[in-house]
């Protein structure tokens, strides 16, 4: 095979990171010689030590800080439709063991052994999100594999994540097969509308499934504030299980319109308010309004490492404001989907926010994303979602 090799020089201790089994190899860990620089972005390569030892098959991008993402433990593994069918078949079997309905994240990148590839499944519709040049080059093989294992009616490409720029990729949305449309998500026994073409990310956030169910388990007969509601993932389920009042807050008018539509389809009532959540929480506090359950699931406040301090402060402020509008004896949740803040730091910021309000709080649930978002054991970065639930006095 004429496949090129990327060489891992020995580090100061004679070891390189790939020894540890991490699927990422950084650009400063490899020998970035002319031969490496000449490789097309995303080219499939072998990774070898200076002594010729095999570290596996991966793909390479000299433009990216994460220069190599490993796909297999052996060198010279063929990366083709059969390879993807095997990996995606394994991912599918896991979801089929977990869920009785075909609504889930089918592929969660490194967690499913496919770095750079995210696929959400909505019945016979799939939304595919490619994050790296290496996966972009494999698109035909990926689609062929999906045809083989699932024969979906619709395949929609949501290749519009801003992070693609780090890989030198452009942003685009495209329907590969069928008609990408408005669909219905069936989750936790509720039905939600979603817009796969215009919605955020892949159109729906499956990661909060279990946390939505937990919040709903507390919600019967209660008033619920769903802050940063997007299309009402938390709020509609709460309304469905019998919350007496549900208010959804979001800055996105299209997202709130879908939330209202889903409420109508589900035969429940919600109040959707377009606002800045921070301003609205200040207003509610000034007006002395409280809710039995306050759920705050904001966008990532720590988008990159340099945002850590301001982002951490924003989580602290959010926890303080959420506590301010939580009724005595109520519950609140603060979530973070930032990769770049560690769970301990996030919990510490929330604790400090609560302390400022002077409310006694008991941490009753610490959770991440659902089981359809598997984490690579040697890549803790892939566990990005953190949700903390507190019971307040």
Comparing CB distances to ligand SAH, the nearer of 157 and 249 is: 249
Of 22-30, 73-81, 106-114, 294-302: span binding ligand SAH (CB under 6 A): 294-302
Using rule CB under 6 A, residue 338 touches ligand SAH: no
Answer yes or no whether residue 250 interacts with ligand SAH by CB under 6 A: yes
Does position 217 interact with ligand SAH (CB under 6 A)? The reply is: no
The binding track of 76-115 with respect to ligand SAH, each residue x by CB under 6 A or -, is: ----------------------------------------
* Residue 274: count of CB within 10 angstroms of its CB: 14
Total interface residues for ligand SAH by CB under 6 A: 17
For ligand SAH, which stretch binds (CB under 6 A), given 117-125, 291-299, 308-316, 347-355?
Answer: 291-299
The piece of 19-27, 121-129, 249-257, 357-365 that touches ligand SAH (CB under 6 A) is 249-257
* Residue closer to ligand SAH (CB basis): 46 or 229: 229
How near is the Cβ of 220 to ligand SAH at its closest, in Å? 19
Contact 333, 388 (CB under 8 A): yes
Shortest distance in whole angstroms from residue 59 CB to ligand SAH: 30
Residue 205 binds to ligand SAH (criterion: CB under 6 A): yes
Q: Interhelix angle for 253-266 vs 233-240, to 10°?
A: 20
Question: Tokens standing for 176?
Answer: 């590969």
Q: Give the whole-angstrom CA distance, residue 105 versus residue 236.
A: 20
In angstroms, what CA-CA distances link 333 with 322, 379, 390?
8, 26, 6
Q: Where are the beta strands (DSSP E) in the chain?
A: 5-8, 24-26, 43-49, 54-60, 66-72, 103-108, 117-122, 125-130, 154-159, 172-177, 182-187, 190-195, 223-227, 245-250, 271-274, 291-296, 326-336, 361-367, 386-392
If one counts every other C-beta atom within 10 angstroms of the C-beta of residue 7, the result is 19
Among 27, 252, 265, 352, binds ligand SAH (CB under 6 A): 252
Alpha helices in the chain (DSSP H): 34-37, 81-98, 133-136, 139-149, 209-217, 233-240, 253-266, 277-287, 308-324, 343-357
Kindly list the catalytic residues. Answer: 337
* Closer to ligand SAH by Cβ: residue 42 or 199: 199
Q: Please, which residue, 6 or 185, has the CB nearer to ligand SAH?
A: 185
Report the SS3 class of residue 194.
strand
Is position 297 an interface residue for ligand SAH (rule: CB under 6 A)?
Answer: yes
Among 299, 310, 377, 380, binds ligand SAH (CB under 6 A): 299
Alpha carbon distance 229, 297 (integer Å): 7
Q: What does the block give as tokens for 312?
A: 């951490």
**Does residue 198 touch ligand SAH according to CB under 6 A?**
no
Closest residue to ligand SAH in the complex (CB): 233
Q: Which residues bind ligand SAH (CB under 6 A)?
A: 205, 208, 228-230, 233-234, 249-252, 255, 276-277, 297-299
């Amino acid at each position: 095979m004429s496949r090129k090799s990327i060489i891992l020089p020995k580090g100061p201790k004679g070891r390189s990171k790939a020894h540890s089994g991490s699927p990422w190899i950084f650009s400063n860990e490899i020998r970035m010689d002319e031969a490496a620089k000449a490789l097309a972005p995303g080219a499939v390569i072998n990774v070898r030590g200076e002594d010729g030892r095999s570290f596996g098959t991966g793909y390479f991008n000299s433009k990216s800080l994460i220069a190599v993402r490993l796909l297999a433990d052996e060198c010279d593994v063929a990366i083709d439709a059969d390879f993807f069918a095997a990996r995606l078949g394994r991912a599918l079997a896991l979801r089929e063991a977990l869920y009785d309905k075909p609504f889930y994240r089918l592929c969660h990148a490194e967690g499913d052994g496919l770095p750079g590839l995210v696929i959400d499944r909505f019945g016979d519709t799939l939304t595919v999100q490619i994050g790296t040049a290496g996966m972009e080059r494999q698109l035909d093989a990926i689609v062929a594999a999906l045809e083989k294992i699932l024969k979906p009616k619709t395949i929609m490409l949501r290749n519009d994540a801003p992070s693609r720029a780090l890989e030198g990729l452009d942003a685009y949305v495209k329907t590969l097969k069928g008609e990408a449309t408005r669909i219905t998500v069936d989750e936790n026994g509720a039905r939600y509308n979603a817009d796969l073409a215009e919605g955020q990310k892949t159109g729906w956030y499956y990661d909060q499934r279990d946390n939505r169910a937990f919040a709903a388990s507390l919600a019967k007969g209660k008033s619920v504030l769903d802050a940063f509601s997007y299309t009402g993932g938390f709020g509609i389920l709460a309304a469905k299980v019998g919350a007496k009042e549900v208010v959804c807050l979001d800055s996105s008018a299209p997202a709130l319109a879908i939330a209202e539509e889903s409420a109508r389809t589900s035969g429940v009532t919600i109040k959707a308010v377009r606002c800045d959540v921070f301003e609205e929480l200040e207003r509610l506090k000034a007006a002395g309004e409280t809710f039995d359950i306050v759920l705050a699931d904001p966008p990532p406040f720590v988008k990159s490492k340099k945002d850590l301090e301001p982002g951490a402060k924003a989580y602290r402020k959010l926890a303080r404001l959420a506590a301010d509008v939580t009724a005595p004896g109520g519950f609140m949740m603060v979530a973070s989907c930032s990769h770049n803040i560690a769970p301990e730091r996030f919990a510490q910021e929330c604790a400090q926010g609560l302390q400022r309000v002077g409310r006694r709080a008991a941490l009753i649930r610490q959770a991440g994303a659902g089981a359809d978002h598997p984490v690579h054991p040697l890549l803790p970065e892939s566990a990005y979602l953190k949700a903390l639930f507190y019971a307040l006095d």
